[in-house]
Amino acid sequence: MVSAKPHPSPRPLLALETATMCGSVALVESGKVLAEYSLDIPATHSRRLLGQIDQVRRDVGVDWPDLAGVAVSLGPGSFTGLRIGLSMAKGLALAHSLPLLGVSTLDGLARQITAPNGTRVCTLLDARKQEVYAAMYECNSAGQAVRIGPDLVLPPEKLAEKLNGPLILIGDGALAYSEVFKERLGMDAIFAPTGSHFPRAAATGLLAEEKLARHDLLDPVDSVPIYVRPSEAEINLNRKA
């Protein structure tokens, strides 16, 4: 059971993004990004995440009692990164009696796009093994991308067969397999600006604020990442079985 309750007055929300190597931490409040710290280095999230959190809190002058909650990107993405991010978010939420909120990584990527009403968006993350995680969206009258399909994991060539343009492609999967989509869609393949292809904690936080307003919280005890496909350990176990 979720025990923490949202605070009625506006307060900053801490957001964590660890689904890819480029991890980030952000503080958002009332639809505004107060601070964001991104780091794309080989060191694991477990070695750098706490430092990033302390940095943004110090820069904004926010202490733990000042926070409205803790939000985390749930995936899909790196299995290890997702586990680290969710474990950290759970620990912080429980230790400081804060609401815990979870956001799809693909939804966060889509939130980084603003486009005219009816524009279609495809979010893609490199899933390794010659596959991508993907989901489809369509922009509403406010310019925000709204999901119109489920999470997918499939080879980029198979995804390209399902697409027709024009549409915006965003995510490191779009970059890794850009030639596949250019060959299929030609000029109808519109790639997002270079700097927007990694998931950002700010987008996670802004989506989480909407969930907080609806009291759509995670249970810190039994919440799990969105893996979409089985882990390597599960695959190996099934092979042995």
Is the model's pLDDT at 241 over the cut of 70? no
How deeply is 30 buried, as exposed, middle or buried, from its count of CB atoms within 10 A (0-12, 13-18, 19+)?
A: exposed
**H or E stretch including 32?**
strand 32-40
- pLDDT band, residue 9 (cuts 50/70/90): low
Under 8 Å between Cβ of 101 and 211:
yes
Strands (DSSP E) found in 46-177: 69-75, 100-104, 120-126, 132-139, 145-147, 152-154, 167-170
- Phi/psi at 198 (nearest 5 deg)? -105, 140
- d(CA 199, CA 108) in angstroms, rounded, equals 7
Average pLDDT over residues 62-76: 97
In the chain, the domains with their CATH numbers are 13-106+200-240 (3.30.420.40), 113-196 (3.30.420.40)
What token pair was written down for 62? 């926010």
Is the model's pLDDT at 163 over the cut of 70? yes
pLDDT digits (tens, 9 = 90+) for 201-221: 999 999 999 999 999 999 999
Q: Is the peptide bond before 199 cis (omega within 30 degrees of 0)?
A: no
Residue 240: per-residue pLDDT? 57
Residue 237: per-residue pLDDT? 46
pLDDT digits (tens, 9 = 90+) for 41-67: 666 777 778 889 999 999 999 999 999
Strands (DSSP E) found in 46-118: 69-75, 100-104
Is the model's pLDDT at 11 over the cut of 60? yes
Residue 19: per-residue pLDDT? 94
Q: What is the signed CA dihedral for 18, 20, 26, 30, rounded to 10 degrees?
A: -100
Residue 236: per-residue pLDDT? 47
Of 14-23, 47-56, 145-154, give the range with the top mean pLDDT.
145-154
pLDDT digits (tens, 9 = 90+) for 167-181: 999 999 999 999 999
Residue 224: count other Cβ atoms within 10 Å of its Cβ: 12
* Maximum Cα–Cα distance across the chain: 54
Give me the residue label for tokens 């596949």: 180
Judged by DSSP in three states, 15 sits in strand
Judged by DSSP in three states, 17 sits in strand
